[in-house]
Amino acid sequence: MKSIQTYNIKSYTYRVKSIWVVCCISLLFSCKKTELGPQCISCDETPITNTTSSDVLILNEGNFGWSNASISIYNKESHSLHNNVFKNANNGVSLGDVAQSFLQIDDKGYIVVNNSGKIEVVNTNDFKSVATINGFNSPRFMLKINSQKAYVTDLYSSFIQIVNLQSNTIVGNIPTPGWTEQLVLLNDTAYVCDMKNNNILLINANNDQLIDSIKVGISPNSIVLDKNNQIWVLCSGGFSQENARLFQFNPSNRSVEKILTFSNINDSPNSLCASGNKDELFFINNHVYKVLISDTVIPATPIISTNGNIFYGLGIDPENNDIYVADAVDYVQNGIVFRYSSSGSLITYFTTGLIPSKFWFIH
Amino acid sequence: MRRFGVLILCLISSVLTFAQNKYSDTTITVKTFELIDKKVSKHYKKTVIDSVSIHESQNLSEVIQNHSSVFIKDYGPSGLSSISFRGTGASHTQIQWNGVLLNSPMNGQIDFSLFPTVFYNNVELNHGATSLLDRNGALGGSVNIFSTPNFEKKYSGLVRQSVGSFGTFKTEVSTSYNTNGLLLENQVYTFTAQNDFEYKNSSKLNFPVEQQKNAEMVQYGVQQGIYKKLKSGWIGGRVWWFDSNRNLPSVLTKAYANEKQKDQSIRTVLEYQIFKNKFSLKASTGFVNDNLIYEDKSTKLFSKSKSYLIDNTINTMFNLNKKLNIINQFNLRFESANSSGFSETKKATHSSWLTGVVFEFDRTQFNAINRFLVVNNQVNALSPSFGGKHQILFKEKLFIKANVGINYHYPTLNDLYWNPGGNPMLKPEQSEMSDVGFNYSKSFQNHSVELDVLGFYNFVNNWILWTPTSSGYWLPANLKEVENKGFEAMLSTTSTYKKIKLSFNLNYAYTKSTNTKANSEFDNSLDKQLIYVPFHKLNTTATINFKNTSLFYNYSFTGSRYISTDNNWYMPEYFLHQIGVSQQIRWNKLAFIVNFKITNLLNQDYQAMAYRPMPGRNYLFSVSVKF
């Protein structure tokens, strides 16, 4: 009995030794083939089944060149949240970077991916990719003109690209002086922010011809329509080059109706949004401010204070005027989205993907 | 993780058993004057890389990757390459070429892929506080590359032609001629590569194999040196001219790449070294002009930057008596840069005066120094450091050593003046550096072994970080506070049996680098590991020399690195194997050497940086003639 035990121990130590040897050798020569490229420790992996009109899309820019842009879907009724929606719906394929803007046309979603130079076309119910529109340089924002075509502005090219919505290809372009940014459509005319020359470009949407340009302030970064079909343009003033200004532009006589000037030269407002019934405007200037279209001065007190966070993106729910604010934290970790009521009281907050910046209220 | 621990144990135990019965004098010491840095730095942590290993590598980046525990941020062939010591950033690593600090005045960084190995014979890595003797500002460490004039030979020369995978062609010529103590030396270098390797595209479904695009590169360089031997020292100088043209491959998620970059540098240095009984002096003055032209055809971005720097250093040491030495160092540096990102030419002046004492007793050495800084008219009178070592046992070379110091890294011209964003109000980054450890070496008969283990702790305050703002541009600020701790171990052995020489070298670093400051209550980066700092980095090289044949095997392991500050995303670890063989044939006074090297022997698919593919197994064959 004893000898058997000794034998067993011996064979055991022998086995342990050989395991060590095998282990050492295999470790030295092993190379993991399964993991290649960035890996996530704790990521949402459940694909979204069907989006509803109570879903809010959050576009997470991702880092420039890191290919980590993503989409989050938050349900404002159930408070449920899905992150990595695009990746999970498309077999783990990453979206690219930098996700710049989102546009919904009927049941199709268009994700403009700036540095990757493409627009991903997805079904808005399950976010499966149906097409990729390639050939852009540095696309920024997209505007539907009619069921056939859309315009896409660009950071580095001197064109607005014309996209055919049926074939999902670029079919033409409109020469511009340079960087074009946000744009809106009113009565067959597209109004485009021209960041290079600080103008609003007027484009005839029927024949795609540039018809006029109107001087505004330095860096017209956002543009919205109000309920009276007046066009509001927010100019950040550049890098403290001039005071930031909010322009009210009357398209019927192509003249500037009103200018609201920011008092501090260091103010750098952005992300102009309109409320549901388009009589209130919101923007970020460190804090979140609300201005009525009838106001003549920029309000002194914000509706939402940063409280030490860094507000990077803004969205207003057209249904109930809830205010969504994105905080990118340090830009290298998952960001936070705060949801406030229209009066500015915090309803909830949740963690999204890297650098949340734009919102879209799915309809 | 556990797997890795097992691996380390295996390696160390196998090496230790091996080490017990062999080993002789191991470190390839550089024959040079016993000057300040040499004398004092004995108790600091240095990685000295021998010239054979240097010349076996393509560029400085590869030397460091294969022969130290330092992590390289390698964007792949034709891409950029920067290094990170002990968890610090790329601008916290300094590089000195024959005493001239080369870091860009603009971003404070250096691209280690632009340093061909034929241009220098020595590479030393100064870890942590070691660099305080040379300069302030290297919060992580510094890399010194230099050539020591060789007055011993009448003439010598080397011509090497290499051909490798992915369209690699390299020609290196190095000659020197010495007459009556006047030494002329010259190096010529050309390198071209297509870098059209295949890789698995991890961003696509099922990882399809694709070919790397837009990664062609061409490099040329010439270095000319002239030195005169003096009665007790030498005087001389050299000129380095280097031109690199490369296309920059993009991340593998991008369908096209149209970026290219041209780097051009002219570097000159005048050096004077003198060594007398009780006094030694080393002086150098360097002039550097770097030009960088970047172009992206698809975005029509074009940027051009030009920088100049003049860097003067005087090191002196007085031997007051056997036990006491006094050291002084004066440094004066002018920087100037012009770029499309600046509204006008921007300038900076850095001056410093280091003074200190070095005590030497039988078994103990101790030094105390202070550096007095004046940077752009701001005075900073106090950045002291202390260090020492003590031999514990009378008969054994077992030393304990410890160092502490305070180091300042000043904001670069980009940090201060970049338009937009530059912030003239930035404070210098401050690091409290310390390390403690031991060094043991023993030689007996034909064997030698050296073991060096050092734990370190650094705390960096006011770390400058550029972050995007909602206004669409990036702003630098003194945002971060970082705690770096860990340890570095080095084991080196050599032994000789008749005509066989075996040597083994191991470097390992464990680095825990954590962010200790949250910028808001939702900041999840608090107490998390910094991005792109691997916990583990290891590499080993084993070399066998038999008569005129030598064989080496190099193995390196880079642990996983987090790539998001909340530590939710990481890049997987990778193991790399490299094998090389060389055969020398002597014919009269000539020696012909044939080399063959296989890199990434196991053809591993890996990325050092996210979505930057790296080449699989590749070969390099070279033929040299030496006289």
Q: Do B519 and A330 touch (CB under 8 A)?
A: yes
Residue B39 has pLDDT above 60, yes or no: no
Q: Is A19 on the interface with B (CB under 8 A)?
A: no
Chain B partners within 8 Å of A38 (Cβ)? 563, 569-571, 610-611
Lowest mean pLDDT among A205-219, B42-56, B347-361: B42-56
Mean pLDDT across the stretch B532-561? Answer: 95
Q: What is the arrangement of strands in the sheet containing A346-354, beginning at the earlier edge strand?
A: A311-316, A323-327, A334-340, A346-354
Q: How far apart are CA B445 and CA A283, in angstroms?
A: 79
HEC secondary structure over A170-227: EEEEEECCCCEEEEEEECCEEEEEECCCCEEEEEECCCCEEEEEEECCCCEEEEEECC
Measure in Å the smallest separation between the Cα of B606 and chain A Cα atoms.
6
Residue B335 has pLDDT above 60, yes or no: yes
Mean pLDDT across the stretch B204-211? Answer: 90
Q: Do B10 and A42 touch (CB under 8 A)?
A: no
- Name the 3-class secondary structure at B90: helix
Residue B497 has pLDDT above 60, yes or no: yes
Which of the four pLDDT bands, split at 50, 70 and 90, describes residue B130? Answer: confident
Q: How far apart are CA B457 and CA B404, in angstroms?
A: 9
Residue-wise pLDDT for B427-452, tens only, equals: 999 999 999 999 999 998 899 999 99
- Name the 3-class secondary structure at B229: strand
Which of the four pLDDT bands, split at 50, 70 and 90, describes residue B20? Answer: very low
Q: Is A38 on the interface with B (CB under 8 A)?
A: yes
Q: Count of residues for chain B? A: 627
Read off the amino acid at residue B24: S
Chain A partners within 8 Å of B573 (Cβ)? 32
- Which of B12, B9, B41 has its CA nearest to residue B365? B41
Mean pLDDT across the stretch B114-143? Answer: 91
| pLDDT at position A327 | 94
Measure in Å the smallest separation between the Cα of B611 and chain A Cα atoms.
6
Parent domain of B15: 2-626
List the single residue in A38, A41, A349 with the smallest CB-CB distance to B610: A38
State how far the alpha carbon of A77 is from the alpha carbons of A53, A86, A277, A317, B344, in Å: 10, 22, 21, 13, 55
Which of the four pLDDT bands, split at 50, 70 and 90, describes residue B132? Answer: confident
Q: Which residue from B minimizes the CA distance to A92?
A: B205
Residue B202 has pLDDT above 60, yes or no: yes
Q: Do B555 and A28 touch (CB under 8 A)?
A: yes
Residue-wise pLDDT for A135-167, tens only, equals: 998 999 999 999 999 999 999 889 999 999 999
| pLDDT at position B7 | 39
What percentage of chain A carries pLDDT values higher than 90?
Answer: 77
Which residues are CB-neighbours of B554 under 8 A, at least 6 positions away? B66, B539, B540, B541, B576, B577, B578, B579, B580
Place of tokens 């106090």: B382
Q: Which residue from B minimizes the CA distance to A138?
A: B299
Identify the DSSP state of A46. P
Residue B357 has pLDDT above 50, yes or no: yes
- Which of B7, B31, B68, B30 has its CA nearest to residue B452? B68
Please state the φ and ψ torsions of residue A89, each to the nearest 5 degrees: -85, -10
Q: Do B254 and A329 touch (CB under 8 A)?
A: no
Lowest mean pLDDT among A242-246, A292-296, B413-417, B472-476: B472-476
pTM: 0.88
Which uninterrupted H or E stretch holds B493? strand B474-497
Which uninterrupted H or E stretch holds A128? none
Q: How far apart are CA A114 and CA B54, in angstroms?
A: 42
Residue B14 has pLDDT above 50, yes or no: no
- Here the tokens at position B11 are 């390696």
Give yes or no for a cis peptide into B420 (omega within 30° of 0).
Answer: yes
Place of tokens 């206004």: B471
Which of the four pLDDT bands, split at 50, 70 and 90, describes residue B421? Answer: confident
State how far the alpha carbon of A350 is from the alpha carbons of A82, A305, A356, in Å: 11, 18, 11
Read off the amino acid at residue B287: F
Mean pLDDT across the stretch A69-87? Answer: 95
| pLDDT at position B236 | 96
Q: Which residue from B minimizes the CA distance to A334?
A: B566
What percentage of chain B carries pLDDT values higher than 70?
Answer: 93
| pLDDT at position B6 | 40
Which of the four pLDDT bands, split at 50, 70 and 90, describes residue B473? Answer: confident
| pLDDT at position B206 | 86
| pLDDT at position A14 | 53
Q: Is A26 on the interface with B (CB under 8 A)?
A: no
Which position has the higher pLDDT, B316 or B277?
Answer: B316
Q: How far apart are CA B63 and CA B473, in angstroms?
A: 37
Lowest mean pLDDT among A15-29, A34-48, A310-324: A15-29
Residue B30 has pLDDT above 50, yes or no: no
Q: How far apart are CA A89 and CA A72, in angstroms?
A: 12
Cα angle value B478/B479/B482 (rounded, 5°): 105
- Which of B550, B514, B548 has its CA nearest to residue B531? B514
Give yes or no for a cis peptide into A297 (omega within 30° of 0).
Answer: no
Q: Is A51 on the interface with B (CB under 8 A)?
A: no
Which of the four pLDDT bands, split at 50, 70 and 90, describes residue B270? Answer: very high
Which position has the higher pLDDT, B205 or B156?
Answer: B156
State how far the alpha carbon of B241 is from the alpha carbons of B105, B119, B219, B339, in Å: 19, 10, 11, 21
Q: Do B203 and A328 touch (CB under 8 A)?
A: no
| pLDDT at position A33 | 47
What percentage of chain A carries pLDDT values higher than 70?
Answer: 91
| pLDDT at position B33 | 37
| pLDDT at position A21 | 53
Q: How far apart are CA A313 and CA A356, in angstroms?
A: 7
Read off the amino acid at residue B165: S
Number of domains in chain B: 1
Query: Domain holding B555: CATH number?
Result: 2.40.170.20
Residue B32 has pLDDT above 80, yes or no: no
| pLDDT at position A99 | 96
| Number of Cβ within a 10 Å radius of residue B94 | 26
| pLDDT at position B44 | 75
Q: How far is residue B128 CA from its own chain's centroid?
A: 12
Nearest-10 crossing angle of helices A2-29, B2-21: 100
Mean pLDDT of chain B: 89
Residue B569 has pLDDT above 50, yes or no: yes
Which residues are CB-neighbours of B571 under 8 A, at least 6 positions away? A37, A38, A39, B560, B561, B563, B607, B608, B609, B610
Which uninterrupted H or E stretch holds A265? none
Which of the four pLDDT bands, split at 50, 70 and 90, describes residue B203? Answer: confident
- DSSP-derived secondary structure for A308-339: T--EEEEEE-TTT--EEEEE-TTSSSEEEEEE
List the single residue in A37, A312, A355 with the smallest CB-CB distance to B611: A37
Mean pLDDT across the stretch B481-497? Answer: 95
Identify the DSSP state of B99. T
Chain B partners within 8 Å of A96 (Cβ)? 253-254
| Domain locations along chain A | 9-361
Residue-wise pLDDT for B570-605, tens only, equals: 999 999 999 999 999 999 889 999 999 999 999 999
Contact A119, A165 (CB under 8 A): no
Interface A:B, Cβ pairs < 8 A: 171
Q: Do B531 and A38 touch (CB under 8 A)?
A: no
Which position has the higher pLDDT, B444 or A7?
Answer: B444
Note which residues in 304-323 of chain A have CB less than 8 A from chain B. 308-313
Residue-wise pLDDT for B510-528, tens only, equals: 999 999 999 888 999 999 9
Which of the four pLDDT bands, split at 50, 70 and 90, describes residue A11? Answer: low
> Looking at domain A9-361, what is its CATH homologous superfamily?
YVTN repeat-like/Quinoprotein amine dehydrogenase (2.130.10.10)
Half-sphere exposure of B472 (CA within 13 A, CB side): 19
- Which of B216, B161, B189, B158 has its CA nearest to residue B59? B189
Which residues are CB-neighbours of B73 under 8 A, at least 6 positions away? B80, B81, B82, B83, B84, B90, B532, B608, B609
